[in-house]
Amino acid sequence: MNTTNDKELNDAIQTRMEVARQNWGWLLTVGILFVLLGTIGLGMTVALTLTSILFLGAFLLVGGVFSLFYTIKDRKGKTGTELTLNILLAILYVIAGIWVINNPAMASALTTAMIAGLLSALGVIRIIAAFEKKPEAGWGWLLVAGLVSLLLALLIFLHWPVSGLWVIGLFIAIEMIFHGWSYIIIALAARKS
């Protein structure tokens, strides 16, 4: 059974490698485009943050409206409590979407605070996990990852709420750059093979 799964996995990898070999030029182009866009994004982190928050607000609003429409249309067969909860949830989405669209700076500050809280929790968990794995190889990298997460959270909290205007945009720009470089590396490796 295990050999069948391994063969299927190897076949899938070979197929993907062949597709990458055939399309390495496109992969390279997309990678360069992501790196360029990410680099441009580094210079406009506030605009990138506010734009992404406005998109979030628009998605909440549209999702809430469609959810409300669907809930009302499909109300047959639902209990009164279920119907009421679905309507309240849809209205909550609409209200949240309107609030985010009308207050993008505040929404980005709150989102950034949640990101910092998440980074703090991840940092603590990684540090604890590192010390539990201490005799094993690689525990030091886990410790470093935990310390970096805590450092990022601290930097965000020290400059909060102003950091809410640029952190999300910075993270998006950095992700685009790394994503682009991964495409470039895959394209160049595919070209050589």
Tokens of 149: 């997460």
Cα–Cα distance for residue pair 42/153, rounded to 1 Å = 19
Cα–Cα distance for residue pair 135/142, rounded to 1 Å = 12
In a domain, 63, yes or no: no
In a domain, 24, yes or no: yes
Cα–Cα distance for residue pair 93/108, rounded to 1 Å = 17
pLDDT for 127-140, tens place per residue?
888 888 887 777 88
Single pTM value for the model: 0.66
In a domain, 155, yes or no: yes
In a domain, 71, yes or no: no
Contacts with 44 (C-beta within 8 Å, 6 or more apart), sequence order: 169
Q: Which domain holds residue 120?
A: 8-51+104-192
Instruction: List, in sequence order, the alpha helices (H) in the chain.
Output: 2-22, 24-42, 45-73, 80-102, 104-132, 139-158, 167-192
If one counts the domains in the chain, the total is: 1
Contacts with 49 (C-beta within 8 Å, 6 or more apart), sequence order: 108, 164, 165, 166, 167, 168, 169, 170, 172
Per-residue pLDDT, averaged over 123-127, amounts to 89
pLDDT for 22-81, tens place per residue?
777 888 888 899 999 999 988 998 888 888 889 999 999 999 999 988 888 887 767 778
In a domain, 185, yes or no: yes
The reported pLDDT for the residue numbered 191 is 76
Q: At what angle do helices 139-158 and 104-132 cross, to 10 degrees?
A: 150
Tokens of 124: 């603590």
Tokens of 46: 């506030």
Q: Count the neighbouring beta carbons within 10 Å of the beta carbon of residue 14.
A: 10
In the chain the first and final C-alpha atoms are separated, in Å, by: 31
